[in-house]
Structure 1
Amino acid sequence: MISAEHVIALLKQQASEEHAERMQGFFKTGKGQYGEGDVFWGIRVPNQRAIAKDVWKDLSKDQWPTLIQHPVHEVRLTALFILTYWYEKAKTEKEREQWVAWYIEYRAFINNWDLVDTSAHKVLGDWFWDRDRSVLMDWVGSQDLWEVRIAVVSTYRFIKRGDYSSTLWMAGQLLTHPHDLIHKAVGWMLREVGKMEEEVLLEFLNQHYTHMPRTMLRYAIERLHEPLRKDYLLGKVKN
């Protein structure tokens, strides 16, 4: 079996100081920013995915918490790639339930938007598709930015299966959320709803667009025909 230390060593071999500096700026790690204090080794995502693909079958399960709690961002992201493999390849519901429980237990370490966006819908979204979603609904009201984003992005799996109800409810609840990372996530999910059924998106927009945060609106209407998109931006669409 493979240890956490082995995985960390494989990742460290891919480190790039130059890329790490760019990533620290891109993921807002400065004082007072949303990623404050996060540490990067500068490992490109395809390399992390390749390592996760190589080790997920042989990593000792009790080593995973060491990876997800690691201070280096890329180690945590690789841990989530591994957990997603475990979840998707699980042969029993009991196994899947364990990986979901770990995702929830260690969610405090899923603390940047890429960590959320590559994993939430694949694990929690899949699990809660046909189960009680109250955990996700509760997180919408959380003071923790990342819990809110996990809840929103989890609904991507629901959208792809034709259920927009959770997404639309969350979007309505989050119209006054203060952070642009939530505005972007909600706008993204609304756009995905529109890709499935544009009329559903337009109905939501017609009710709410005049008081939607600008970033949320821009993300939501990105794929609409240009004249209609401009009308929403200019406030010309009648409710």
Structure 2
Amino acid sequence: MSAAEEIVAALREHATDTEREKISRRLRGSSRPLGVRMGTVFDLAKQHRDIGLGEVTGLLRSPWYEARMVGVSILDFRARRQLTDDQRAELARLYLDNHDTIDTWDFVDRAAPRVLGGWLLTRTDRSVLETLARSADTYERRSAITATFWLVRNGEIADALAIAGLLADDAEVDVTASVGVALREVSVQDREAAIAFLRRRGSDMPRPALRTAVSKLDEPLRSELLGH
């Protein structure tokens, strides 16, 4: 039995009908829930974070939601380590090569910041962000903006603002929600840059995303930017 098969077998042991019904109510995308609590999923990912990357691919290509979540979680846990540029590139390439299976918002949020953002932090060529942002696929666009969270956390805001500019008026809430988060974090690093962007493009953004974007600014600015 392969490591990926062993992980799926362990997930099955922890599955319950109650949890399956709960996950089913919120789940979108092509995967199906077994019915395993996320705490258990993450514990299994930690226990198996050193499996081969081929096995991680097997998890990402599983039909089961929890198996895919173990896969993206292993990528995230690996990306938290001290890695060489080549090792980071390998993780990012695996994520990108299997992006057709990364088709819910929580898969993206689990891995994109450290796996993609951590890889791009040391690269001058970040054109993959624009490629993803211009994709017809909702979750590739979400990956583009969510990857910039890690860049912003490390004081680099230019890419976040550029990708937010492409996606500010996106038709999908799963994309604009992350745009709002990115701009909120930009406001922590560079208040004036965030304000300038929001004065220019805030009216293009859906209200929930705009409220998130201004949430760390002071009240007079929030009121101005929200149009109160």
Alpha carbons 2:15, 2:35 under 8 Å: kept:
yes
Q: Give, in whole Å, the separation in 1 of the partners of 2:87 and 2:56.
A: 15
How many residues align? The count is 227
**Percent pairwise identity:** 30
Q: Which residue of 2 aligns with 1:10?
A: 10
User: Structure 1 residue 2: deviation in Å?
Assistant: 5.8
Find 1:77's aligned residue among 50, 62, 69: 69
Q: Does structure 1 residue 188 correspond to structure 2 residue 181?
A: yes
Task: Please state whether the residue corresponding to 1:118 is helix, strand or coil.
Answer: helix
User: Structure 1 residue 83: deviation in Å?
Assistant: 2.1
Q: Give, in whole Å, the separation in 2 of the partners of 1:203 and 1:95.
A: 37
Q: Does structure 1 residue 108 correspond to structure 2 residue 105?
A: no
Alpha carbons 2:92, 2:116 under 8 Å: kept:
yes
Classify 1:200/1:102 alpha carbon distance in 2 versus 1 (closer, same or farther; 3 Å): same
Q: Give, in whole Å, the separation in 2 of the partners of 1:130 and 1:178.
A: 32
Q: Which residue of 1 aligns with 2:33?
A: 40
Residue 160 of structure 1 aligns to which amino acid in structure 2? R
Task: Please state whether the residue corresponding to 1:13 is helix, strand or coil.
Answer: helix
TM-score of the pair, normalised by structure 2 = 0.91
Q: Does structure 1 residue 20 correspond to structure 2 residue 20?
A: yes
Alpha carbons 1:84, 1:119 under 8 Å: kept:
yes
Q: CA RMSD in A?
A: 1.9
Q: Give, in whole Å, the separation in 1 of the partners of 2:92 and 2:140.
A: 15
Residue 73 of structure 2 aligns to which amino acid in structure 1? F
Alpha carbons 1:90, 1:96 under 8 Å: kept:
no
Alpha carbons 2:23, 2:33 under 8 Å: kept:
yes
Classify 1:36/1:110 alpha carbon distance in 2 versus 1 (closer, same or farther; 3 Å): closer
Q: Which residue of 2 aligns with 1:55?
A: 48
Task: Please state whether the residue corresponding to 2:170 is helix, strand or coil.
Answer: coil
* Uncovered stretches (5+) of structure 1, i.e. residues with no partner: 28-34
* Uncovered stretches (5+) of structure 2, i.e. residues with no partner: none
Q: What is the 5 A alignment of 1:51-200?
A: 51-57=44-50, 59-89=51-81, 91-131=83-123, 132-200=125-193
Classify 1:166/1:116 alpha carbon distance in 2 versus 1 (closer, same or farther; 3 Å): same
Residue 18 of structure 1 aligns to which amino acid in structure 2? T
Report the structure, 1 or 2, having the larger helix content.
2
Q: Does structure 1 residue 222 correspond to structure 2 residue 211?
A: no
Classify 1:209/1:17 alpha carbon distance in 2 versus 1 (closer, same or farther; 3 Å): same
Q: Give, in whole Å, the separation in 2 of the partners of 1:197 and 1:94.
A: 31
Q: Give, in whole Å, the separation in 2 of the partners of 1:60 and 1:185.
A: 31
Residue 183 of structure 2 aligns to which amino acid in structure 1? L
Q: Give, in whole Å, the separation in 1 of the partners of 2:82 and 2:143.
A: 22
Q: Give, in whole Å, the separation in 2 of the partners of 1:207 and 1:93.
A: 36
Q: Give, in whole Å, the separation in 2 of the partners of 1:2 and 1:60.
A: 10
Alpha carbons 1:2, 1:60 under 8 Å: kept:
no
Classify 1:36/1:84 alpha carbon distance in 2 versus 1 (closer, same or farther; 3 Å): closer
Q: 1:164-216: per-residue Cα shift (whole Å, max 9, x none)? A: 11111111111331111111010011011112232221111112222322222
User: Structure 1 residue 91: deviation in Å?
Assistant: 4.7
